[in-house]
Amino acid sequence: MNRLFYLNHTPLHTRFSKNSKDFVVTEVPLYDFSGEGEHLILKVRKKDMTTWDMLQTFSERSGAKVRDFGYAGLKDKDGMTIQYISVHRKFETHFSNFSHEKIKILEMTRHTNKIKTGHLKGNRFFVRLKKVTPTEARILENVLNIVQKEGFPNYFGYQRFGREGNNYERGKEILEGKRRERNKKLRNFFISAYQSHLFNLWLSKRVEISKLFDAFDEKELFNLFNFPRETVRQIKAQPRFFKLLPGELLHHYPYGKMFLGEDIRQESTRFAKRQITATGLLPGKKALHATGVAGNYEKDITKACENFCEKMQGTRRFAWIWAEEIDYTYKESEAWFELSFTLPKGAYATTFLEELTHQHDLID
């Protein structure tokens, strides 16, 4: 599906290649490492290989099994990645003089526990956009100023859906019993792609609603939506582009707990200050559901899977996020726009770039 952009500028005809020179990802650890403990912490830089490929190489060189290594997140093959890996300290001698054409160990320290999935604050990205004209560079600067204040929708990116964009269809067929997949990891991946597809549909609808509230006055909105007048008034009065709805399941941002929003006037003020954010549904039996107006829009999405929803676990995901520490430079002689930014864990740099450029097929 083509996700609905929330900004209104025309598409920019820039190009982006996901290679080790033009795309760099650096993990931001969840905590400082103590320097003591039974776990060896490796700060590693890899180029043009997946995290799994790197761990397999480490396993072959050290004798440790792949499952013995800890990591906070899996990184793509394309580009350069700096991330942290843990393994028991008894394997330390195998990494002291480690050498590989695509892997470099930058630092070694120790810690008291193994790194586990999700043990990171976020990721710092460096991106080089090419074939950027001076006019497009000015548009990018203006757009970045808006996004830095307003945030952007936390869509799932193409990585979840595959180059052909049809991974979610396979997941649906598995859930419907129309397709068999013996590989458990692949089966779970395809099902998660289907959940992600439903999340993106829901989020695109919420962006559309926010656009309508941004564009029309209260009288017009009352005729468009079957909401009480006071609800329309409260939604319209919210200071940020993305509008919270009654019954929203909210979450403290970027860390904390989830809670039911009961006073959208008060919660919209906290949202504007980036203290909280809205969450969206990935359907399944363990997922919590919004209520009221917000819940009704979730139900529109879950109708598609009501016959097999119990076959999925389910969870919730931040619907709206902010890029932090945005920095950029335009090199007119090369027509390069170099951009650095930090995103919370689970967010996709590619969806951020697509919002900036309004290109769904940005990557070469």
Of all residues in the chain, what percent carry a pLDDT higher than 70?
Answer: 99
Task: For residues 209 and 230, give the distance between their C-alpha atoms in angstroms, rounded to a whole number.
Answer: 17
The residue segments making up the domain with residue 229 are 199-321
**Alpha helix (H) residue ranges in the chain:** 51-62, 93-96, 134-150, 158-161, 167-176, 184-215, 218-224, 229-236, 264-272, 292-302, 349-357
Q: Is residue 1 part of a domain?
A: no
> One of 48, 53, 68, 76 is an active-site residue; which one?
76
Domain end (from 93, 118, 143): 118
If asked whether residues 114 and 209 sit together in one domain, one would say: no
Report whether pLDDT(166) > 80: yes
Domain count, the chain: 2
Select from 233, 214, 222, 166 the least CA-distant residue to 194: 166
Q: Is residue 312 part of a domain?
A: yes
Report whether pLDDT(159) > 90: no
For residue 213, the domain's CATH number is 3.30.2340
Q: Is residue 173 part of a domain?
A: no
Read off the pLDDT band of 160 (50, 70, 90).
confident
Domain end (from 118, 133, 157): 118
Is pTM beyond 0.75? Reply is: yes
Domain end (from 321, 340, 359): 321
Q: What is the pLDDT of residues 179-234, one digit of tens each?
A: 999 888 899 999 999 999 999 999 999 999 999 999 999 999 999 998 999 999 99
For residue 108, the domain's CATH number is 3.30.2350.20
Q: Is residue 207 part of a domain?
A: yes
Q: What is the pLDDT of residues 71-108, one digit of tens each?
A: 998 888 889 999 999 999 999 999 988 999 999 999 99
pLDDT of 49: 92
Report whether pLDDT(132) > 80: yes
pLDDT of 249: 98
User: What mean pLDDT is predicted for residues 283-298?
Assistant: 95
pLDDT of 1: 59
Q: 53 catalytic, yes or no? A: no
What is the residue-wise DSSP string for 155-218? ---HHHH-TTS-HHHHHHHHHHTS-----HHHHHHHHHHHHHHHHHHHHHHHHHHHHHHHHS-H
If asked whether residues 105 and 211 sit together in one domain, one would say: no
